[in-house]
Amino acid sequence: MGELGKPRSIGISILLFIVTLGIYGLVWTYKTFDEMKRYSGNGVGAVIGLIIGIFVGIVNYFLLANEVENLYRGDNKEPPIRTITGFWVFLPLVGPIIWFVKIQGALNEFWQAHGAPAP
Protein backbone atom coordinates (compact mmCIF):
# COMPACT_ATOMS: atom_id res chain seq x y z
CA MET A 1 0.00 0.00 0.00
CA GLY A 2 0.98 3.62 -0.35
CA GLU A 3 1.63 6.57 1.88
CA LEU A 4 -0.19 6.72 5.23
CA GLY A 5 -2.66 9.46 5.96
CA LYS A 6 -2.45 11.80 8.92
CA PRO A 7 -4.57 11.23 12.02
CA ARG A 8 -6.28 14.48 13.01
CA SER A 9 -7.55 15.71 16.34
CA ILE A 10 -11.34 15.62 16.21
CA GLY A 11 -11.75 18.50 18.64
CA ILE A 12 -9.26 20.78 16.91
CA SER A 13 -10.78 19.95 13.52
CA ILE A 14 -14.27 20.87 14.72
CA LEU A 15 -12.88 24.09 16.17
CA LEU A 16 -11.21 24.90 12.83
CA PHE A 17 -14.50 24.23 11.01
CA ILE A 18 -16.20 26.79 13.28
CA VAL A 19 -13.44 29.43 13.35
CA THR A 20 -12.96 29.41 9.56
CA LEU A 21 -16.72 29.41 8.94
CA GLY A 22 -16.53 26.10 7.11
CA ILE A 23 -13.52 26.78 4.91
CA TYR A 24 -11.48 24.21 6.84
CA GLY A 25 -14.14 21.71 5.77
CA LEU A 26 -13.03 22.09 2.18
CA VAL A 27 -9.37 21.69 3.17
CA TRP A 28 -10.24 18.64 5.27
CA THR A 29 -12.25 17.14 2.40
CA TYR A 30 -9.40 17.65 -0.07
CA LYS A 31 -6.78 16.18 2.27
CA THR A 32 -8.92 13.24 3.32
CA PHE A 33 -9.77 12.16 -0.22
CA ASP A 34 -6.13 12.69 -1.23
CA GLU A 35 -4.75 10.57 1.61
CA MET A 36 -7.15 7.70 0.96
CA LYS A 37 -6.37 7.71 -2.78
CA ARG A 38 -2.60 7.85 -2.17
CA TYR A 39 -2.80 4.97 0.30
CA SER A 40 -5.11 2.59 -1.51
CA GLY A 41 -4.99 3.74 -5.13
CA ASN A 42 -8.80 3.61 -5.10
CA GLY A 43 -11.45 6.26 -4.78
CA VAL A 44 -12.24 9.57 -6.40
CA GLY A 45 -9.18 11.46 -5.21
CA ALA A 46 -8.71 14.97 -3.89
CA VAL A 47 -9.83 17.18 -6.78
CA ILE A 48 -12.97 15.23 -7.69
CA GLY A 49 -13.86 14.85 -3.99
CA LEU A 50 -13.49 18.60 -3.49
CA ILE A 51 -15.57 19.43 -6.57
CA ILE A 52 -18.32 17.08 -5.41
CA GLY A 53 -18.11 18.67 -1.95
CA ILE A 54 -18.51 22.17 -3.35
CA PHE A 55 -21.34 21.48 -5.80
CA VAL A 56 -23.28 18.57 -4.29
CA GLY A 57 -21.91 18.43 -0.77
CA ILE A 58 -24.47 16.01 0.57
CA VAL A 59 -23.04 13.29 -1.68
CA ASN A 60 -19.70 13.52 0.14
CA TYR A 61 -21.28 12.38 3.41
CA PHE A 62 -21.96 9.04 1.77
CA LEU A 63 -18.92 8.96 -0.53
CA LEU A 64 -16.41 9.58 2.26
CA ALA A 65 -18.08 6.98 4.46
CA ASN A 66 -17.92 4.51 1.58
CA GLU A 67 -14.24 5.17 0.91
CA VAL A 68 -13.35 4.76 4.60
CA GLU A 69 -15.36 1.53 4.64
CA ASN A 70 -13.42 0.35 1.59
CA LEU A 71 -10.07 1.13 3.27
CA TYR A 72 -10.98 -1.32 6.02
CA ARG A 73 -12.35 -3.91 3.61
CA GLY A 74 -9.16 -3.67 1.53
CA ASP A 75 -7.30 -4.60 4.70
CA ASN A 76 -9.68 -7.52 5.35
CA LYS A 77 -10.95 -5.83 8.50
CA GLU A 78 -14.47 -5.15 9.63
CA PRO A 79 -15.15 -1.43 9.09
CA PRO A 80 -16.40 0.56 12.10
CA ILE A 81 -18.60 2.60 9.74
CA ARG A 82 -20.65 1.94 6.65
CA THR A 83 -21.79 4.01 3.70
CA ILE A 84 -25.13 4.53 5.47
CA THR A 85 -23.25 6.57 8.09
CA GLY A 86 -23.94 9.44 5.69
CA PHE A 87 -27.56 9.50 6.85
CA TRP A 88 -26.43 11.30 10.02
CA VAL A 89 -26.41 14.50 7.96
CA PHE A 90 -30.21 14.52 8.02
CA LEU A 91 -30.31 14.91 11.81
CA PRO A 92 -30.50 18.68 12.38
CA LEU A 93 -27.53 20.43 14.04
CA VAL A 94 -25.78 17.48 15.67
CA GLY A 95 -25.97 15.02 12.76
CA PRO A 96 -23.03 16.41 10.79
CA ILE A 97 -20.96 16.56 13.98
CA ILE A 98 -21.75 12.92 14.79
CA TRP A 99 -20.89 12.00 11.20
CA PHE A 100 -17.56 13.83 11.38
CA VAL A 101 -16.63 12.23 14.71
CA LYS A 102 -17.39 8.77 13.30
CA ILE A 103 -15.51 9.35 10.02
CA GLN A 104 -12.43 11.00 11.51
CA GLY A 105 -12.38 8.51 14.36
CA ALA A 106 -12.40 5.58 11.92
CA LEU A 107 -9.67 7.22 9.83
CA ASN A 108 -7.55 7.90 12.90
CA GLU A 109 -7.88 4.25 13.99
CA PHE A 110 -6.97 3.03 10.50
CA TRP A 111 -3.90 5.23 10.10
CA GLN A 112 -2.68 4.49 13.63
CA ALA A 113 -3.13 0.75 13.12
CA HIS A 114 -0.71 1.06 10.20
CA GLY A 115 1.91 2.99 12.14
CA ALA A 116 0.92 6.65 11.92
CA PRO A 117 1.45 8.61 15.16
CA ALA A 118 -1.58 9.65 17.22
CA PRO A 119 -2.93 13.16 16.62
Domain that holds residue 75: 10-112
118: in domain: no
Report the pLDDT value the prediction gives residue 51, as an integer from 0 to 100.
97
| CA 103 – CA 79 distance, rounded (Å) | 11
Percent of the chain with pLDDT over 90: 94
Structural domain total, the chain? 1
Q: Is residue 4 part of a domain?
A: no
- Look up residue 37 and give its amino acid: K
What is the number of helices (H) and of strands (E) in the chain? Answer: 5, 0
Residue 47 lies in a domain: yes
The pTM (predicted TM-score) of the whole model is 0.93
Q: What's the CA gap between 106 and 108, in Å, rounded?
A: 5
8 A C-beta contact, residue 63 and residue 33: no
Is residue 102 helix, strand or coil?
Answer: helix
User: What is the CB neighbour count within 10 angstroms for residue 95?
Assistant: 15
- pLDDT above 90: residue 119: no
Query: Is the pLDDT confidence value at 100 over 90?
Result: yes
